[in-house]
Structure 1
């Protein structure tokens, strides 16, 4: 359970404590940045141990208008559903990053490693770097 007050995480949050302490297992926390057009992602995406994901409009150029900033940006807008309604949000984008990280971790030599318990893609600039560019820049490829 997250303890939030005015979008501020309390220092004693059990999830954050766990993420800081893990060492013997590979856990790559990924979270959507939020949909309120803020310069920083909401918690837990703002924590340094978490890869925050913002949404773009699918052309890898135009940032989705309502997305909060994040570490990386992937398509998360203008998905057409069966009811003929388009939907968008960073919660559509974050699972894409989770899937790609999971695929990377199945490789003999994963492209993106962690520095201690902080994933390489969690660079903390919250500049909406396109995922492919972030991999090249922060994962040594």
Structure 2
């Protein structure tokens, strides 16, 4: 008698679990990428990467790792805006990134510009700028 009860229990439980999974919410997509320094081309760790759907309070944030890599495993299927922030660098914003359901991950690679990247006559560290200044 124990086996028929277990079978009946499993048969009753299976449709409930499928319904719960179907109603679990919106379809989601993946967004990932790398952040590098625009001058040195080296990866930047500790960059705060924020993703949000404009007009909502749905905000997710991650930090880049030692390789400059970030990943959002579960973003809603919609248009999202991604912001990049790190002290010493100019903030960067990428609006209207389209996250689609059941699509391959979206990759966004950013070259982050240092905040002090302002040209000062005679004090340029970059040879090209010194050459242009001398002309």
TM-score bin, normalised by smaller chain: under 0.3
Q: Which has the higher strand share?
A: 2
TM (normalized to structure 2)? 0.23
